[in-house]
Amino acid sequence: MYRFFLYFCTDMKNKWFILLLFIAVSAVAQNPKREFRGAWIQSVNGQFQGMGRDRMQQVLTSQLNDLQKDGINAIFFQVRCEGDALYPSELEPWSRYLTGQQGTPPNPYWDPLQWMVEQCHARNMELHAWINPYRAKTKGTTALANTHEYFRHPNHFFDYDGLMLFDPGYPENRNYICQVACDIVRRYDVDGIHIDDYFYPYPVAGLAIPDDNSYALYGKGMDRAEWRRQNVNQFVQQMCLQIRSVKPWVKFGVSPFGIYRNQKNDPNGSATNGLQNYDDLYADVLTWVENGWVDYNIPQLYWEIGHKTADYETLINWWSAHAGKRPLYIGQDVLRTVKAPDPQNPASHQMPRKYMLQRSLPGIFGSCQWYAAAVCENPGNYQTMLRQVYHNTPALQPKMPWIDNRAPGKPRKAAIVWTEDGPILFWTAPKAKTVMDEAVQYVVYRFLKGEKIDLEDTSHILCITRETNLPLTYQGGRAPYVYIVTALDRVQNESKGAKKKVKL
């Protein structure tokens, strides 16, 4: 790493960037072998609206190629913005955020979700289908398709500040949204279902949530706030159980608003003064984590270090202390991070310090970038830092033993085959008794002859691949290497290694 730094500096004229790189390199030893490295690709901002198949595929291909080089290993792709779909669905209409008019199929016809699954898997990334559970109409939507769920059960919805929402108080809505998610899981090879931070609506001063009808039917005299939290809790629990019943390896996770509760409302809350999940959105995130109803939690810590209302450092420490029984990933805001100087080192923006905190605190197993396109624009050399420092070695996904903790068998029949294009390392998939034991990816390590075999040293990972072969570079037969190939199952339990020695 130090030699890389010296070489890089001799070729750089930007002294600020050299300082930033030095800070980052100094703070990073060996990158983690297992780390979630995600990025959000949103649709509700209209970036794909009316773009057409060819142009949208071109844009997404460019982003995915960049993100792959950045070490990103998971993509959240927004496929349900307002009770609609960016994929063919018998339950919901095509999204206007794809075609420009809700209910109108794309022309030329294609399936963006299926295409994204294939593209992400080809790049050894996970694909999590991102859905907004309760939003039924955004402020900019002027017309709903006649196949929208609203027209089947209009009394199950309410309007709030220009939005229309599925009323969380109706069990029928809970069942329907879970049906939509399970339809995705059943028909697509997704690695996860992801929900964002919209539960009950973000409050507007002086505007009450109009859920009197559902409360009268189902409230049973409960405190209204407690009843609302119970509604969301039941939804999250039901979603988890039903996804697991369809495909037990598909992960279910959430990216809540960044503040759970403020200390002024709860002594165990954070020293912040912003909107609260528990009190304002009726989202009791810690209950979901403690009960194992989610497989990961990604609070959106989009503020800067030193923010007066919601200080990033205060919040990342609070979430780390309350990570509980599930992996905590950090939602990182790319643009805010590079626009703000580090209070402890004003010559640098905040990326090095945020990553130092993320990787040094217990319970944190990665991060997710808000948002993918911002990463690709490389503001403040953010993307360059991912490539050169923080993600410069591949990473497996964090373990999830509550889903499955049994490793697959090790790859078989590792062999070198010499072809006219050079040597190729081949292996055969291990045998599997169940779908959970099947190998779907492989990790290839390389060591010099005589070098200690340490599979925890990420500098020796050549690649993570879905193929059962890897072309090698011939060097005239002078360099003796030891290759180790391990197998990964659907939740990335890792097998023992198959060894092959070769002189290249």
Does CATH place domain 412-503 in 2.60.40.10?
Answer: yes
Position 3 confidence tier, pLDDT thresholds 50, 70, 90: very low
Phi-psi region of 52 (alpha: psi -120 to 50; beta: other; left: phi over 0): left
Higher pLDDT, 12 or 375: 375
Q: For residue 32, count CB atoms less than 10 angstroms from its CB and return exposed for 0-12, middle for 13-18, buried for 19 or more.
A: middle
| Residue pLDDT, tens place only, 480-502 | 999 999 999 999 999 999 999 99
For residue 22, the model assigns a pLDDT of 54
**Chain region(s) in the chain for CATH 2.60.40.10:** 412-503
pLDDT at 298 over 80: yes
pLDDT at 350 over 90: yes
pLDDT at 269 over 60: yes
Q: For the chain, give the percent of residues with pLDDT over 70.
A: 94
pLDDT at 87 over 90: yes
DSSP 279: I
Position 15 confidence tier, pLDDT thresholds 50, 70, 90: low
Position 5 confidence tier, pLDDT thresholds 50, 70, 90: very low
Whether the upstream peptide bond of residue 423 has omega within 30° of 0, thus cis, is no
| One-letter identity of residue 11 | D
Rounded Cα–Cα distance for residues 154 and 160 (Å): 15
What value does the mean pLDDT take over residues 376-391? 98
Length of the chain: 504
Angstrom CA distances, 439 to 302, 412, 471, stand at 37, 12, 20
Which tokens go with 391? 């993600």
| Residue pLDDT, tens place only, 405-426 | 999 999 999 999 999 989 999 9
CA dihedral 342, 348, 349, 354 (to 10 degrees): -60
Higher pLDDT, 319 or 473: 319
For residue 192, the model assigns a pLDDT of 98
- How much helix, strand and coil, in percent to the nearest 5, is found in the chain? 35, 25, 45
**Chain region(s) in the chain for CATH 3.20.20.80:** 2-390
Residues whose CB falls within 8 Å of the CB of residue 319, separated by 6 or more in sequence, listed in order: 260, 299, 301, 328, 330, 363, 364
For residue 474, the model assigns a pLDDT of 86
DSSP string, 159-228: EETTEEEE-TT-HHHHHHHHHHHHHHHHHS--SEEEE-S-SSPPPBTTB----HHHHHHH-TT--HHHHH
Topology adopted by domain 2-390:
TIM Barrel (3.20.20)
pLDDT at 28 over 60: no
| Residue pLDDT, tens place only, 215-261 | 999 999 999 999 999 999 999 999 999 999 999 999 999 999 999 99
| Residue pLDDT, tens place only, 50-83 | 999 999 999 999 999 999 999 999 999 999 999 9
pLDDT at 143 over 50: yes
pLDDT at 161 over 50: yes
